[in-house]
Structure formats: structure tokens, C-alpha cells
Amino acid sequence: MKALVRYQAGKGEPPYLAVRLRKNLKGALESTETQLVDSLDAGPSIVHLISPDDGPFLEKAREYGAKVVVSALYAEGEPSASYLGEAEEDGFRPIKPRAARMLRHADLIFVPGLREKGILVDSGIPSSKVEILTPGVNVSRFEGLDPAEKDVYRQYFNIRDRESVAVVFGDYESGRPFKALEEIAGNLPSFRLIFIGYEKYQAFMSSRRRRLSKKGPKNVRFEGIIEDDVFRSLLRSASFAFFMGEAPRILALEAMASKTPVILFRDPGHGSPLRPEENAILAETPSALVKAVESRLAGDYDSLIERAYRLARAESLLDLGKRLFLRYRPLAGEE
């Protein structure tokens, strides 16, 4: 069986969650009997798409006789991977019309959780062709780093050997977390906090990040998307990973795989792999978050870290590959 996995980020758009998802899908399929190809001329029986902009490519794949699979709602913060339109008066965000047309013509649709499946069904997509599938995580990326690899982040961010570090995940498009982050940073003066957030255009620093970098807390460094080797080094070595808002399943699984304690600034809601008091710590106020850090430094939460790591291993690329292969085969007529 041949498969083509496709995603192209928009012009100037940084590689983030959707690119990670494509890499995970291809890496998972490499562990199966699936042959990966790069063009329709190679005769794939399955075409797996990620971007709602690929409606024309879907129609072309049909002409080549391929079945089409779509992964939707895994990377909503990114313009080229976003399926949702503007919020309605009741707060519901329907599927964009062009995205809905594409999804209606797909043979199978994957989503990361029940909440996302409900969004598609409520937007008129038949429930029968929407399935929940983990984005997977390459656990080995975070294991066995040699000393040089482990210290890459210190050189990159100019951090001294004895300085403690935490990684903070957030969103520059939302101003809500930054006042809280300022209070948190002020109460953790011995920590360097590295804030990583998505920005629409890689070539330009957003106005909010520019302002925060100049006037924000001195022990917080505000970053966009960073290189993979720096990211792995930082996440593997950080004392904590803070999620200041949404916790996308891809990033959550990577934090869990790195055995980094995860603190949630708000409940991530249904569908997230992070469960407060089960594999993560929930702290809904700055003072509660600082207290959670102090408790962890006293040796608490080891069992939460281990449970998180076991869940990440259960959603490994090997497991993802098996599930993809099982779903691809009947579509390709190979049962």
C-alpha cells in the first residue's frame, strides 16, 4: 500500500504543530508496511491531508483514484491548519465553509478528541466518518540525550549552569496570561522562564512579543518557535512546563514524554491527555502555581510524572502507525 502525507505551511508561517503532526504521521507509517510517496504520479492509494486549504488537492487525488483521509482540528492556532471560523453569538465556532466542503468529500476524518468530534458533527459532518486518533509522540526524541545535546538550550539562551529553568507555553494572540505571568515570575526570582508562543509570521516579531521583551519581567524570555534541538534540550532539562492556556495534545504529549512536571494554569478541558491530580498539577491562580512549584521542589508529584510518561509511551508513534495501517487498509481495498 502506498500513502502520501501532505501539509504545506503558508508563506512566512513558522513550522509548529501541523508540521509536527505531518512528521509524526510519516514517522508512524514508516514502522508499517506502508510505502510513503511524495506525488500523486507515484500512485498512492491513500492521500492524508492536514490543511483545509487542500480542497483542490483532494479533488485531484480523487481523479487519481486515491482515497482521502483528513486530520482536522489538531493545530487550530495556525492559519494554514485552521478549520474553524469566527465565533457566533453563543460562542460556537463553526467550520469554515471551504473546510466543510473538503471534509464532506473526505473518506475518513481524524480528530484529537471527543470535543473536536462534536464540533464537526455540530457543523454537519457525518459522525460515521469522524474518528478520534492521537497525534502520537516520538518518545525517543526526549530520551538518551548526551551532555552536549542536553546543554544546547543553555548556550542558546545564555543560561548559567546552576540557573533553574522552566518552559512556558502560551499564545501571543491572547493577552490574558501575561498579567498572571508577570506575578508568577516575580515570585520565582531564582527561575528563568522561557515563554514559547505561536506567531503568525516567522520573519516578524509580533507587536505584543516586542513590547513584552522590552517591558516584561527580567527573568522571562519571550520566544517564538525555536529550533528542534533547542526545544528538545529545553523541555528535557526544564524543572517545569507551564501551560498558560490551551494545551494542544501534541505539545502536551511531548512534555509528558520528556518527564517534565506539567503545571496547568487552567483546566485544559475534555479531550486533553493532561488530567489534574492524575498526571499534571492544576493551579488556577498565580499564588497557587508558585505554591505548586515549591511543593515539587520539596519532592512531591513524582507519581504524576511517571503516570504522564506511561501515557505518552502508550501514544507512541509505533501505536499510531498500527492504528493508521488498520484504518488505511479497508479504505485501500486491502482487507
The pLDDT, as a whole number, for residue 298 is 58
Full pLDDT tens readout for the chain, 335 residues: 999 999 988 887 888 899 999 999 999 999 999 999 999 999 999 999 999 999 999 999 999 999 999 999 999 888 899 999 887 767 778 899 999 999 999 999 999 988 899 999 988 999 999 999 999 999 998 887 777 788 899 999 999 888 899 999 988 877 678 899 999 999 999 999 999 988 776 666 778 888 889 988 999 999 988 888 999 999 999 999 999 888 889 999 999 999 999 999 887 766 678 888 889 999 989 999 998 888 766 566 788 899 999 999 999 999 999 999 999 999 988 76
Residue 299, pLDDT score = 62
- Which pLDDT score is estimated for 327? 96
What's residue 297's pLDDT?
64
CA distance to 8, 39, 215, 267, per residue, from 45 (Å): 20, 11, 54, 41
Classify the C-alpha dihedral 274-275-278-282 as positive or negative: positive
SS (HEC) of 204-265: CCCHHHHHHHHHCCCCEEEECCCCHHHHHHHHHHCCEEEECCCCCHHHHHHHHHCCCCEEEC
- Three-state DSSP class for residue 31: coil
Residue 13's SS3 state is: coil
Please state whether 130 falls in left (phi above 0), alpha (psi between -120 and 50) or beta. Answer: beta
* CATH topology (fold) of 2-136+316-331: Rossmann fold (3.40.50)
DSSP letters spanning 82-151: --B----TTS--PBPHHHHHHHHH-SEEEESSHHHHHHHHHTT--GGGEEE----B-GGGGSS--HHHHT
CA distances from 303 to 3, 14, 244, 279 (A): 40, 35, 23, 8
pLDDT at 247: 87
pLDDT of residue 203: 62
The pLDDT assigned to 202 comes to 65
Phi, psi of 327 (to 5 degrees): -85, -30
Report domain extents, the chain.
2-136+316-331, 139-314
- For domain 139-314, the question of CATH label 3.40.50.2000 is answered with yes
What pTM, to 2 d.p., does this model score?
0.90
- 3-class secondary-structure state, position 276: strand
Q: What is the pLDDT of residue 53?
A: 94
Q: Write down the pLDDT at residue 300.
A: 65
